[in-house]
A and B are shown apart, each in its own frame.
Chain A
Amino acid sequence: MSMRDIRNLFLAALALGLVALLPLYDTGYILSIATTMAMFTVLATSWALFSGPTHYISLATAAFFGLGTFVTGLGFQTLPMWLLPIIAAGLGAVLAALVGLVTLRLSGVYFVIFTLGLAELVRQVVTWVQNRTGQRGMYVLTTITERDIYWQLIGLAALVFLVGWLIARSRLGFALRIIGNDETVAKHSGIDTAAAKILLFMISGAVAAVVGAIVAPRYIYIEPSTAFAPILSFQVVIMALLGGTGRLWGPLAGVIPFTLLWEFISRNAPNQTLLLLGVAFLLIVYVLPGGFVGLYERLRHRFGSGGQ
């Protein structure tokens, strides 16, 4: 580990520590927005762990997230609360592995469509089961406060950043970058591309499921149409792309402004949120390819090394 790595780790820990103090300052509106930000930070960062280097755009976040909320919804009365995220992680990883095995040969747009369909499929299955058993939604009434959820999410974010940092330095991370550039070269260089992709997709899926399990009490009432809402998948993708997936901190740089903007729009023009989503997407594609990270690198390149 170089001095720079140690410094970065120290700074990251310091930042997380400061962020974790927020509930001491405010437990109302600001905490609520911060919790949303923390949630999307974890989702977008873990999404980018897989989709960033491989360029496989996954729209399955809602499937894993919804799975997690249902784990909590079904288990919070009978199982200890600490066990629920672990179960969610296990189920999320299994679901991701299954999807990975099926979609191994799919690339590009086929993978995107499949993952979008997956969230919808899971939602329909859950709805069907509920209709058969006469259930509708379920209430998740717990003593868990927003503060507890916030802290759990911050802890999870720390874990995801650590894992992402370790992967980026590992042979697995290098393998994924090669896969993202040219899968044929990757195979002929000795990389088990299928195993590498599935492993990362499992990590990404497990994290999204844990997020669902943690934030479920926040929703109080859970039903398939909200838990598996596809818009969540799109939000995650757009935030991650807005920030940029080239760096570990990239998605975070997208989550903060987007959450604030989303909040602003849904308060002032609640019917125009989808419009915002579309416009944001167009802007990213046309104006900010590579997101804020890409912009940062271009500026640094121009002003940093340009004078040498």
Chain B
Amino acid sequence: MARVVLEVRDVTKRFGGLVAVREMVFDVHHNEVLGIIGPNGSGKSTMINMISGTFAPSSGSIRLNGQEIAGKPAHRIARQGVARTFQLVRLLPELSVVENVMAGAAFGHRKRWGSEAESFARTLLDRVGLGRQINMPVSSLTYINTKRVELARALACEPEVLLLDEWLAGLNPTELETGIDLIKSLRDEGRTIILVEHVMDAIRSLCDRCVVMSSGAKIAEGTPLDVLADAEVIRAYLGADEDA
């Protein structure tokens, strides 16, 4: 088994009386795509937000390459090597496409500046498949291209772990195929990725392993094939079937 990059131990998050995430435990290995799946409101995004430092866990530990990152401010965690995309795409509207990607390169895990950052940004934009639209204003990009730019920005800081929060959501069937191929090719480059996803096709074809959450807790872990056949997972997604 490859080395462990991210180690999540007994992580709990309470919002007042609500327990959004309960004692989550999982590992992410180097060059692995780990899927975090589960019904709406099961705590997936909360989990991602704690890893990326949007907010601190109420208790528990999150280690990146052996170093504790739980509770650190987001910019520190980003510099240590966690990059993310957002569920609702966030681009910088007043900046050019290239500058949007340079934003990830200039302050992140491996810092680049000036012409070096710019050529790196262009390489990444090419890499994610944004060819001739590179000089368009951000506001006139198509939906999938905004997602590409955001992905390139996350890649620009050369993260140890890449968090994709429903990166494939909202794409049409053709785009979805392109998107899945793109993420697959990122894994083949040796990247480590955590994927929060609803699209089952994507989960099946992309994830090496899956962690299934329901009501804030982990209910299953294993290969996509195994967890999607798990009785408790089916119950969590579809509800209990009285006749079964």
Chain A positions within 8 Å of B, measured between CB atoms, are: 171, 174-175, 177-178, 180-182, 184-193
Can you list, as one digit per residue, whether each of B75-91 has a CB less than 8 Å from chain A (1) or not (0)? 10011000110100011
Query: Which residues does chain B contribute within 8 Å of A188, judged by CB atoms?
Result: 52-54, 74-75, 78, 83-84
With known contacts A187-B74, A193-B75, A175–B93 Cβ distance under 8 A:
no
**B209 in the interface, Cβ–Cβ < 8 Å?**
no
Query: Which residues does chain A contribute within 8 Å of B13, judged by CB atoms?
Result: none
CA distance A22 to B78 in the complex (A): 52
Q: Which of A181, A187, A193 sits near B92, CB closer than 8 Å?
A: A181
Q: Which of A177, A182, A189 sits near B107, CB closer than 8 Å?
A: A189
Contact call A171/B113, Cβ cutoff below 8 A: yes
With known contacts A171-B106, A171-B107, A174-B106, A189–B157 Cβ distance under 8 A:
yes
Query: Which residues does chain A contribute within 8 Å of B104, judged by CB atoms?
Result: 189
CB distance from A125 to the nearest CB of B (A): 33
Q: Which of A184, A186, A187, A190 sits near B109, CB closer than 8 Å?
A: A190
Contact call B94/A180, Cβ cutoff below 8 A: yes
Chain B residues touching A, range: 20 to 34
Can you identify 21 A-B contacts, CB atoms within 8 angstroms?
Answer: A171-B106, A174-B99, A175-B106, A180-B94, A181-B93, A184-B86, A185-B90, A185-B91, A185-B153, A187-B78, A188-B54, A188-B75, A188-B83, A189-B75, A189-B106, A189-B107, A189-B108, A189-B157, A190-B107, A192-B75, A193-B75
Query: Which residues does chain A contribute within 8 Å of B53, judged by CB atoms?
Result: 187-188
With known contacts A177-B95, A182-B90, A185-B92, A191–B107 Cβ distance under 8 A:
yes
Can you list, as one digit per residue, whether each of B101-133 has a CB less than 8 Å from chain A (1) or not (0)? 011101111000100000000000000000000
**B170 in the interface, Cβ–Cβ < 8 Å?**
no
- Residue on A with the closest CB to B107? A190
Query: Which residues does chain A contribute within 8 Å of B157, judged by CB atoms?
Result: 189-190
CA distance A189 to B77 in the complex (A): 9
CB distance from B113 to the nearest CB of A (A): 6
Contact call A191/B90, Cβ cutoff below 8 A: no
CA distance A11 to B93 in the complex (A): 32
CB distance from B77 to the nearest CB of A (A): 8
**B73 in the interface, Cβ–Cβ < 8 Å?**
yes
- CB-contacts of B50-65 with A (<8 A): 52-54
CA distance A70 to B38 in the complex (A): 63
CA distance A206 to B157 in the complex (A): 34
- Residue on A with the closest CB to B109? A190
Query: Which residues does chain B contribute within 8 Å of A187, judged by CB atoms?
Result: 53, 73-75, 78
- Residue on B with the closest CB to A170? B113
Query: Which residues does chain A contribute within 8 Å of B79, judged by CB atoms?
Result: 190
CA distance A190 to B90 in the complex (A): 15
CA distance A174 to B91 in the complex (A): 15
Contact call A184/B90, Cβ cutoff below 8 A: yes
Query: Which residues does chain A contribute within 8 Å of B90, judged by CB atoms?
Result: 182, 184-185
Query: Which residues does chain A contribute within 8 Å of B74, judged by CB atoms?
Result: 187-188
Contact call B52/A178, Cβ cutoff below 8 A: no
Contact call A189/B153, Cβ cutoff below 8 A: yes
Query: Which residues does chain B contribute within 8 Å of A190, judged by CB atoms?
Result: 75, 78-79, 107-109, 157
Query: Which residues does chain B contribute within 8 Å of A186, judged by CB atoms?
Result: 75, 103
- Residue on A with the closest CB to B84? A188
Q: Which of B86, B94, B153 sits near A181, CB closer than 8 Å?
A: B94
Query: Which residues does chain A contribute within 8 Å of B93, judged by CB atoms?
Result: 181
Q: B92, B95, B103 — which one has the most chain A CB atoms within 10 A of its CB?
A: B103
CB distance from A184 to the nearest CB of B (A): 6
Q: A178, A181, A182, A188 — which one has the most chain B CB atoms within 10 A of its CB?
A: A188
Q: Which of B75, B91, B94, B102 sits near A191, CB closer than 8 Å?
A: B75
Query: Which residues does chain B contribute within 8 Å of A174, judged by CB atoms?
Result: 99, 102-103, 106
- Residue on B with the closest CB to A175? B107
CB distance from B56 to the nearest CB of A (A): 14
CA distance A175 to B107 in the complex (A): 8
